[in-house]
């Protein structure tokens, strides 16, 4: 029997994932040992774990592109930026969720544990450099997400959300796998650099079919039209902190996965996938803007808003240039801040243990809670893209990239739909400032305050110092080309 | 026609026929049994391809565990399959139309399909060829070295599945008597047995 000599691969780039993996297992053991009483300490432990992983990610060297584990894992500036966003989104979720779950009496130690496991999956997706790693990361993230959508298991809506998400998610994973197997079959390799060298300008029909199926699976995870049907129901049915999570961290991971596949593995066949993403971007922006107009529930409104935002972000991908990806990264940073800020406010609409989730419940908020109303108004102005708030610059960079890449029509349609979208964002401002005041709500929980303060600072003061973020996004985009 | 080809056609046609019977059988238990037959035939096809490890895993995992689990679920849930099929006639026209469109598309795709002949020999690139390795040895060589990362992530996925099942289904039911082994083992003779004098014709209160 011949012996197999193998050298341990370099694990340094993998350090954040290893820390999270080992830490989450310790948390599970602790939770199982202490029972339900441990929910609070496991929450704090998970938050500390995520922040430690964040600091390790930030301390990793920035220059160059390191691949390890037989080329399945890649670490570069893009991965670093997107992992930072994912970890920030997950930490914010734990801060937002803690008070909510305690007051709803559904506090369980498994929730922070699942958030951390989901985060590991997202980080694997961000660093994926071959199709198997991509799929495994996606499944780890999705499975944890299905469970936390249904975590309020005595609530019919939450259970329905979990089941719907699971069934449709399994379908989309199937499509992605089918596409991936076609790509593997027609290129003979699963690694992204291998696919790049196997495909030339005119990819065969089979590979093209594979690309289309992969795009369909990816669009489902992004919640982009025409694969968005699950989004409003899942967002409405899940407990609100879970909705905030779905709208933040997994979006970052899904966007980076899309960039990894289409920029990393298929850069020479842009002609095939560019038209797909142009269509998806236009359809998402249009549907997100028009369908949100008639909504009564804030959570459904945020669901349509996230669909529209993904549409704008995909403009950067459709451009397919370095500038486009840099615009996409800037968009995602600002989108994360706006979404988390908006959800921190939605979660504070509580009076005597009843949560309010309808848009009419915001009426007259400016008289009862002037600061809260001011922050939400800023978030809404920013989402509508009004200068000098951050949302304007987010849109500005992707539109500029699209025009540079010759996609003028796409940019014009983007501007038109953002005007339509401005209607429902500004309606919320009108309801808060000009309608009858209602009874005041309870004071905000400390976790919500932290998230709201940080995201408000980013949204309102971005225009003063745009340099660092734009520079980082530029370096992240550069590391891919 | 060689024996291998004859067995290929035997297994393949049986697999297709039992696959059809899975959806056509009236009795759901019969459906599951046909599903098992389809799995066994697929395992036969794997053996013909020289993938004996996969064939055995298919039998052990799918027939031994998954299909038997299906069988239990079908027997316990008592699903009324006749009611599920009620709408079949109403949806037949539109369903048939979509099916026909798909069939035409499939034929178009397969008609223009061409596979690079160089790719047919491509698989098993990572395994040292020339040595007389069995399937299990070849898999064992790469799964903990080349694919250790995927193996670990798959482990985490299974962990999530386990946590998910517990989170969503395990409930503490009040009023259920449970066996407490520590308490049982710590019972002494003094606590459990009492000796009483029983006066004649009077008995004792228990």
- Tens of pLDDT, residue by residue over A157-183, are 999 999 999 999 999 999 999 999 989
A456 falls within a domain: yes
Render pLDDT for B139-151 as a digit per residue (tens, 0 to 9). Answer: 888 888 888 899 9
Residues 6+ apart with CB under 8 A from B96: none
> What chain B residue is nearest to A141 in terms of C-alpha separation?
B157
**Among B156, B161, B171, B172, which would you mutate to test the A interface (most chain A Cβ atoms within 10 Å of its Cβ)?**
B156
- Give yes or no for A409 touching B (CB within 8 A): no
Tell me the CB-side half-sphere exposure of residue A202, using CA atoms within 13 A.
Answer: 0
Shortest CA gap B43–chain A (Å): 21
Q: Mean pLDDT across chain B, nearest whole number?
A: 83
pLDDT at B114 over 80: no
Model confidence band, residue B130 (pLDDT cutoffs 50, 70, 90): low
Instruction: Tell me, yes or no, if B157 comes closer than 8 A to chain A by beta carbon.
Output: yes
Residue B120: the pLDDT is 53
A373–chain B nearest CA distance, Å: 37
Report the residue of chain B nearest A138, measured CA to CA: B157
Task: List beta partners, residue A68.
Answer: A73
Nearest to A147 among B118, B156, B167 (CB): B167
pLDDT confidence bin for B126, thresholds 50/70/90: very low
Does residue A317 form part of some domain?
yes
Chain B interface includes A120 (CB < 8 A): yes
- Number of structural domains in chain A: 1
Any bridge partners for residue B145, and if so which?
none
- The nearest alpha carbon in chain B to A11 belongs to B149
Domain with A434 in it: 268-481
For residue A420, the tally of other CB atoms under 10 A from its CB is 16
Residues 6 or more apart whose Cβ sits within 8 Å of residue A331: A309, A312, A313, A316, A394, A395, A397, A398
CA distance B130 to chain A (A): 13
Min Cα–Cα distance to chain B from A475, Å: 28
Of A2, A108, A206, the CB nearest to B113: A206
Long-range CB contacts (within 8 A, 24+) of A329-332: A329/A78, A329/A81, A329/A82, A329/A472, A329/A473, A329/A476, A329/A477, A330/A393, A330/A394, A330/A397, A330/A398, A330/A469, A330/A470, A330/A473, A331/A394, A331/A395, A331/A397, A331/A398, A332/A82, A332/A85, A332/A251, A332/A252, A332/A255
Chain A residues with beta carbon closer than 8 angstroms to that of B149:
69-70, 72-73, 133
- Which tens digits make up the pLDDT trace of A398-441? 999 999 999 999 999 999 999 999 998 999 999 999 988 888 88
- A122 within some domain: no
B143 inside 8 A of chain A by CB:
no
Residues A72, B167: C-beta atoms closer than 8 Å? no
A66: β partners: A75
d(CA A231, CA A254): 14
**A206 falls within a domain:** no
Q: How many angstroms separate the CA atoms of A22 and B111, rounded?
A: 51
Q: Residue A58 domain-assigned?
A: no
Cβ–Cβ below 8 Å for A147 and B164: yes
Q: pLDDT tens digit string along A35-92? A: 878 889 999 999 999 999 999 999 988 777 888 888 889 999 999 999 999 999 999 9
Is A283 within a domain? yes
Distance from CA of A320 to the nearest CA of B (A): 28
What does the pLDDT read at residue B71? 85
pLDDT (mean) for A3-27: 83
Q: Tens digits of per-residue pLDDT, A344-386?
A: 999 988 887 788 888 888 888 888 888 999 999 999 999 998 8
DSSP symbol at A435: S
Q: Is residue A78 part of a domain?
A: no
Q: Do A136 and B115 touch (CB under 8 A)?
A: no
Average pLDDT rounded to a whole number, residues A467-474: 90
A306 inside domain: yes
Whether B118 has a pLDDT exceeding 90, the answer reads no
From residue A102, give the alpha-carbon distance in Å to each of A23, A99, A106: 23, 5, 6
Q: How many CA atoms lie within 13 A of B20 on its CB side?
A: 5
- For residue A196, pLDDT over 80 is answered with yes
Using CA atoms, how far apart are residues A197 and A265, in angstroms rounded to an integer? 9
Q: pTM value?
A: 0.88
Q: Quick check: A6 contacting B, CB < 8 Å?
A: yes
């Amino acid at each position: 029997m011949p012996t197999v000599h193998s050298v341990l691969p370099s694990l340094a780039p993998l350090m954040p994932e290893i820390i999270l993996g080992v830490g989450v297992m310790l948390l599970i053991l602790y939770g199982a040992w202490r029972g339900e009483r441990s929910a609070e300490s496991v929450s704090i432990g998970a938050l500390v774990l995520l922040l430690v992983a964040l600091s390790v990610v930030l301390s990793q060297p920035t220059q160059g592109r390191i691949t390890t584990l037989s080329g399945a894992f890649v670490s570069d500036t893009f991965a670093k930026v997107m992992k930072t966003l994912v970890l920030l989104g997950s930490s914010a979720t734990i801060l937002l969720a803690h008070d909510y779950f305690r007051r709803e009496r559904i506090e369980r130690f498994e929730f922070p544990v699942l958030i951390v496991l989901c985060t590991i999956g997202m980080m694997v997706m961000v660093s994926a450099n071959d199709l198997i790693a991509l799929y495994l990361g996606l499944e780890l993230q999705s499975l944890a997400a299905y469970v936390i959508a249904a975590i309020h298991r005595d609530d019919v809506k939450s259970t329905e959300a979990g089941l719907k998400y699971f069934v449709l998610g399994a379908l989309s994973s199937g499509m992605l796998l089918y596409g991936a197997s076609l790509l593997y079959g027609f290129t003979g390799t699963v690694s992204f650099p291998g696919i790049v060298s196997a495909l030339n300008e005119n990819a065969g029909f089979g590979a093209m079919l594979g690309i289309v199926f992969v795009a369909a699976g990816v669009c489902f995870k992004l919640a982009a039209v025409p694969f968005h049907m699950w989004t409003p129901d899942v967002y409405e049915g899940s407990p609100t902190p879970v909705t905030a999570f779905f709208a933040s961290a997994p979006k970052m991971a899904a966007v980076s996965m899309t960039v990894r596949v289409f920029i990393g593995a298929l850069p020479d066949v842009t002609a095939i996938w560019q038209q797909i993403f142009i269509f998806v971007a236009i359809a998402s922006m249009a549907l997100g803007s028009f369908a949100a107009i008639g909504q009564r529930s804030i959570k459904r409104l945020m669901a349509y808003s996230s669909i529209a935002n993904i549409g704008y972000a995909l403009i950067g991908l459709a451009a397919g240039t370095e500038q486009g990806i840099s615009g996409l990264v800037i968009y995602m940073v600002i989108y994360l801040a706006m979404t988390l800020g908006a959800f921190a406010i939605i979660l504070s609409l509580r009076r005597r243990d009843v949560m309010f989730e309808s848009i009419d419940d915001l009426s007259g908020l400016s008289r009862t809670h002037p600061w809260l109303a001011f922050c939400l108004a800023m978030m809404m102005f920013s989402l509508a893209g009004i200068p000098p708030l951050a949302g304007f610059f987010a849109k500005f960079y992707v539109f500029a990239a699209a025009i540079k890449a010759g996609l003028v029509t796409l940019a014009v349609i983007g501007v038109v739909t953002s005007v339509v979208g401005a209607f429902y964002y500004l309606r919320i401002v009108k309801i808060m400032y000009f309608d009858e005041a209602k009874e005041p709500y309870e004071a905000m929980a400390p976790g919500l305050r932290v998230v709201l303060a940080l995201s408000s600072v980013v949204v309102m003061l971005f225009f003063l110092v745009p340099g660092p973020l734009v520079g980082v996004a530029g370096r992240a985009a550069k590391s891919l080309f | 026609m060689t024996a291998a080809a004859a067995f290929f056609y035997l297994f393949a046609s049986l697999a297709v026929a039992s696959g059809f019977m899975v959806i056509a059988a009236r009795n759901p238990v019969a459906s599951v049994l046909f599903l098992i037959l389809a799995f066994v035939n697929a395992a036969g096809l794997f053996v013909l391809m020289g993938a004996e490890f996969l064939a055995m895993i298919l039998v052990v995992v799918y027939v031994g565990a998954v299909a038997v689990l299906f069988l239990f679920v079908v027997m316990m849930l008592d699903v009324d399959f006749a009611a599920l099929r009620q709408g079949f006639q109403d949806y037949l026209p539109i369903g048939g139309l979509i099916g026909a469109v798909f069939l035409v598309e499939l034929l178009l795709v397969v008609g223009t399909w061409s596979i690079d002949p160089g790719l047919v020999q491509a698989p098993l690139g990572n395994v040292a060829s020339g040595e007389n390795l069995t399937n299990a040895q070849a898999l064992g060589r790469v799964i903990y070295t080349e694919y250790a990362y995927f193996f670990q992530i798959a482990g985490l996925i299974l962990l999530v599945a386990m946590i998910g099942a517990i989170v969503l289904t395990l409930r503490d039911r009040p009023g259920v008597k449970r066996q407490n082994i520590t308490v049982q083992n710590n019972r002494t003779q003094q606590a459990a047995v009492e000796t009483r004098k029983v006066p004649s014709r009077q008995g004792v209160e228990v």
